[in-house]
Amino acid sequence: RKEVEQDPGPFNVPEGATVAFNCTYSNSASQSFFWYRQDCRKEPKLLMSVYSSGNEDGRFTAQLNRASQYISLLIRDSKLSDSATYLCVVGYGQNFVFGPGTRLSVLP
Amino acid sequence: DAGVIQSPRHEVTEMGQEVTLRCKPISGHDYLFWYRQTMMRGLELLIYFNNNVPIDDSGMPEDRFSAKMPNASFSTLKIQPSEPRDSAVYFCASSLGPAGLSYEQYFGPGTRLTVT
């Protein structure tokens, strides 16, 4: 079993739709959680950290369920510019572990 | 502020040649990471350093790969001899502190390596 798993997609959604991504991790000692975004042929960029109580940044909401070892990302009112691959990242000790990513295409 | 800087941005070389990739982390960041990304295998951690000291190189594929960090502002990843299967995008990333304390990683633009 991989340490961090994500549905690879692709998710094809119309503009304005709400879309949710899920991520599961296997290491119960994981301490920190992030969502990164990667555009085609670009580097991964931090989208948001994920806090235990859940957090929101504009149209983006992240949730963490430590008991189920599950992280989610919700994008509301999706824009064409949201089209990218979304990477779930888990940290423990000095290690960052990246999931394989979920590809999102927002269609006009 | 300058982000993570990598050079070259693109490298095309012939099989058997030596390749050296370079990285300058964000000033003040204590951690430096080298990753490789391919369509088939995704993003793979190769090695990381803390305060210029290699901590975990278990992701380095084989002895043809080596990495150094002679000082806090410079690191190299060397492949000798290169092979076509080394073709990938190589990313360097840095962070202020350890992952377990919720410090984020910041990535450079990557070096796209093609070995023919």
Instruction: Please give the average per-residue pLDDT across B70-82, as a whole number.
Output: 97
Tokens representing B26?
């964000």
Instruction: Please give the average per-residue pLDDT across A4-8, as a whole number.
Output: 91
Rounded Cα distance, B115 and B29, in Å: 31
Tokens representing B80?
């000798």
Give the pLDDT score at B101.
84
CA angle B95, B101, B103 (to 5 degrees): 25
Determine whether the interchain pair A43/B109 forms a contact, defined as Cβ–Cβ distance below 8 Å: yes
Determine whether the interchain pair B42/A93 forms a contact, defined as Cβ–Cβ distance below 8 Å: no
- Closest-CA distance of chain A to residue B21, Å: 16
Give the pLDDT score at A19.
96
Say which residue the tokens 């964000």 belong to. Answer: B26
Check pLDDT > 70 for residue A83: yes
Residues in A closer than 8 angstroms to B100, CB to CB, are 31-32, 91-94
Instruction: Please give the average per-residue pLDDT across A64-83, as a whole number.
Output: 96
- Closest-CA distance of chain B to residue A90, Å: 8
Of residues A43, A95, A98, nearest to B108 (C-beta): A43
Give the pLDDT score at A81.
97
Instruction: Please give the average per-residue pLDDT across B83-94, as a whole number.
Output: 97
Tokens representing A24?
């599961």
Burial of A23-61, coded b for 16+ CB within 10 Å and e otherwise, reads bbbeeeebebbbbbbbeeeebbeebbbbeeeeeeeeebb
Question: pLDDT tens digits for A36-46?
Answer: 999 999 999 99
- Please report which confidence band the pLDDT of residue B1 belongs to, taking 50, 70 and 90 as the band edges: low
Determine whether the interchain pair A43/B98 forms a contact, defined as Cβ–Cβ distance below 8 Å: no
Question: pLDDT tens digits for B41-75?
Answer: 889 999 999 999 999 999 998 899 999 999 999 99
Tell me how crowded residue A107 is: count the other CB atoms within 10 A of its CB. 11
Residues in A closer than 8 angstroms to B97, CB to CB, are none
Question: pLDDT tens digits for B7-39?
Answer: 999 999 999 999 999 999 999 999 999 999 998
Give the pLDDT score at A71.
96
Determine whether the interchain pair A32/B56 forms a contact, defined as Cβ–Cβ distance below 8 Å: no
